[in-house]
Amino acid sequence: MLERGELAAVSDGAAERHDLKSQWERVKTRLKAELGDATYASWFQNVDMIGVGDGKVVLAVPTRFIRSWLAAHQTDRLVALWQAEDPSVQKVDILVRDQVRAEAAGAASASVSVMASTPRAAAASPRPSAAPISSVMANAPRPGSGYASGPIGEGVSADDLGAPLDPRFTFENFVVGKSNELAHAAARRVAETRDVVFNPLFLYGGVGLGKTHLMHAIAWEIRRQHPERKVLYLSAEKFMYQFIRALRFKDTMAFKQQFRTVDVLMVDDVQFISGKESTQEEFFHTFNALIDHNRQVIISADRSPSDLEGIEERIRSRLGWGLVADIHPTDYELRLGILQAKADDIMSTGGTINIPPAVLEFLAHRIVSNVRELEGALKRVVAYASLVGRPISLDMAQDVLRDLLRSNERKVTIEEIQRRVAEYYNIRLGDMLSARRARAVARPRQIAMYLSKQLTTRSLPEIGRKFGGRDHTTVIHAVRKIDSLCKEDAGLEEDVDLLRRMLEGGPAEL
Ligand code: ADP
Ligand code: MG
């Protein structure tokens, strides 16, 4: 994280630099201990210390959003921690790296390149991604036009063959986390090098997790770095459509020719051709011809090659010969990173809109399905706020997104409830199932039964069975008991409420 600091250390004031660096390391260690790993990673992971002077510490952060949050919540703490290292420090100045960069690159690119460096993205993709997007766009085709770089054989124009690229789907705008780092690294590698390192690159993962985004990003990047290379991106569906059309017009030779002269072929959502035999056959020929000529092929699908039912065995196994990179469902940290990037983008273009961090944290907790829904949720909240002219708040977000939140509700299991409740009351998990009747274990057990009834769809007998084979009448009794106790005992009601919220909120983070 301190690459620049370290470089400077070689040339001037090495000892002093070194000292500063270890001071900063100590401050960060303390912050991490105070804030916890997850919060620390969300906000401090990619904060650089630029220097100290005139009683000021200067920090650089990736986004405006992170700057606002740090300024609002952490400056006092930062000053205090620095003073412990260096009593002359009175103030912390926080700069946004991208603003500095964007100003240099021209105002037009600012809103897009801000997204470049949410914590992990910047860490994983250091300088190349800093190039202004406008340079990519400069030699890109008209927005919305068909896409294939360079001439692609006679007769058929790029508009017929390729599919348009989304200008937002760039590496700069792709936030990297644990779940997608392999796919991202492979995509970058393919985009940046002219050598064919792995062929094909096979990207797979559930819907809305960024496969199409990565493929477009590869196309944009190649176009920027190697504009002479011919890149063709299309969906498997479009491939089939083109093929059928060629058959109808008895033009299959030309069809084949066009594909076989590209340097990089990307076919998105290849699961689409399952069960479609002649399309598969043609696809396979094209695929083999390109691979034999050492042209890069990149494929995406919603499942792994071996799970592609309805696709011939020889094709499936051939698809898995190169590098197979899967994109896992997002984790909380990545969801928050993505939301921060998008929020930053909105706030830097949207005038007065302010999106409180608590709302982003709430969304990252609760919208767990996929990135598309996550983005959609944020957009909806923002659109609503600007329509009715109200500031964005947690309450409003909950209100606007009620349906989405419901469909994202976690399925809580009885085992989870038992574990949580046992932890909360500091009893052994085994006591949930045991026959012990002492109040200290019987009450928590009843609460766990009560929550099982409320939070799962299990029937009373099923719940009874999970609690050491108890009768369903015992469960009914527990539910009634807790219901009535909650009415008279505010403390107990609070406990039950807290447990419910913990269970609904998700596993580890709370
Ligand atoms: P898929 O093709 O896997 O179904 P997409 O590539 O269409 O998913 O992604 C869905 C949406 O989520 C797009 O708007 C995309 O930009 C966004 N998205 C997905 N992953 C990320 C990520 N890691 N960082 C930023 N945006 C992402
Ligand atoms: Mg897609």
Instruction: Supply the residue whose CA is at minimum distance from atom 9 of ligand 1.
Output: 210
How many CB atoms lie under 10 A from the CB of residue 53? 10
pLDDT for res 38:
67
Query: Which residue among 112, 188, 213 is best mutated to probe the pocket of ligand 1, counting the most ligand atoms within 8 A of its Cβ?
Result: 213
pLDDT for res 49:
82
Instruction: Supply the residue whose CA is at minimum distance from atom 14 of ligand 1.
Output: 372
Relative to beta strand 323-327, strand 201-205 is parallel
- Bridge partner residues of 326 (DSSP): 204
How many CB atoms lie under 10 A from the CB of residue 483? 11
C-alpha atoms less than 13 angstroms from C-alpha of 218 in its C-beta half-sphere: 35
Please give the domain boundaries of the chain with CATH numbers for all domains. 13-135 (3.30.300.180), 151-327 (3.40.50.300), 332-407 (1.10.8.60), 414-509 (1.10.1750.10)
Pick the closest to residue 357 from 42, 35, 32 (CA basis): 42
Query: Which residue among 209, 330, 344 is best mutated to probe the pocket of ligand 1, counting the most ligand atoms within 8 A of its Cβ?
Result: 209
Q: Which atom of ligand 1 is nearest to the CA of 173?
A: 25
pLDDT for res 505:
61
Check residue 305 and report its DSSP letter. Answer: G
Q: Which atom of ligand 1 is nearest to the CA of 180?
A: 23
137 lines ligand 1 (CB under 6 A): no
How many CB atoms lie under 10 A from the CB of residue 387? 8
Low-confidence ranges of the chain (pLDDT < 70): 1-17, 38, 42, 63-65, 98-161, 350-351, 410, 505-510
Lookup: tokens for 220? 């944009």
129 lines ligand 1 (CB under 6 A): no
* 187 neighbors 203 (Cβ within 8 angstroms): yes
CA 213 to each of CA 263, 287, 300, 351, 462: distance values in angstroms, whole numbers, following the listed order: 20, 22, 11, 27, 44
> Ligand 1 centroid vs 326 CA: distance in angstroms?
14
Check residue 107 and report its DSSP letter. Answer: G
pLDDT for res 105:
42
> Ligand 1 centroid vs 363 CA: distance in angstroms?
16
Check residue 367 and report its DSSP letter. Answer: -
363 lines ligand 1 (CB under 6 A): no
372 lines ligand 1 (CB under 6 A): yes
211 lines ligand 1 (CB under 6 A): yes
209 lines ligand 1 (CB under 6 A): yes
Q: Which atom of ligand 1 is nearest to the CA of 174?
A: 24
pLDDT for res 395:
93
Query: Which residue among 178, 184, 371, 378 is best mutated to probe the pocket of ligand 1, counting the most ligand atoms within 8 A of its Cβ?
Result: 371
- Bridge partner residues of 94 (DSSP): 59
456 torsion bin: left (phi>0), alpha (psi -120 to 50), beta (else): beta
> Ligand 1 centroid vs 175 CA: distance in angstroms?
9
Query: Which residue among 335, 372, 374, 379 is best mutated to probe the pocket of ligand 1, counting the most ligand atoms within 8 A of its Cβ?
Result: 372
337 lines ligand 1 (CB under 6 A): no
Q: Which ligand is nearest to the CA of 218?
A: 1
Check residue 298 and report its DSSP letter. Answer: E
Cα separation, 86 vs 232, in Å, equals 57
169 lines ligand 1 (CB under 6 A): yes
Cα separation, 316 vs 304, in Å, equals 9
Instruction: Supply the residue whose CA is at minimum distance from atom 19 of ligand 1.
Output: 210
Q: Give the tens place of pLDDT for each residue, 372-393.
A: 999 999 999 999 998 888 999 9
Pick the closest to residue 229 from 187, 193, 189, 255 (CA basis): 193
Q: What are the residues whose beta carbons fall under 8 Å from the beta carbon of 78, sequence distance 6 or more? A: 27, 31, 57, 59, 70, 92
Report cis status (omega within 30 of 0) of the bond before 128. no
pLDDT for res 506:
52
Pick the closest to residue 375 from 417, 335, 434 (CA basis): 335
Q: Which atom of ligand 1 is nearest to the CA of 176?
A: 23
pLDDT for res 128:
33
> Ligand 1 centroid vs 208 CA: distance in angstroms?
5
C-alpha atoms less than 13 angstroms from C-alpha of 418 in its C-beta half-sphere: 16
pLDDT for res 2:
35
Q: Which atom of ligand 1 is nearest to the CA of 327?
A: 3
Residue with tokens 């993505």: 338
> Ligand 2 centroid vs 373 CA: distance in angstroms?
14
C-alpha atoms less than 13 angstroms from C-alpha of 334 in its C-beta half-sphere: 20
Cα separation, 381 vs 359, in Å, equals 10
pTM comes to: 0.58
Where in 320-371 does DSSP place strands (E)?
323-327
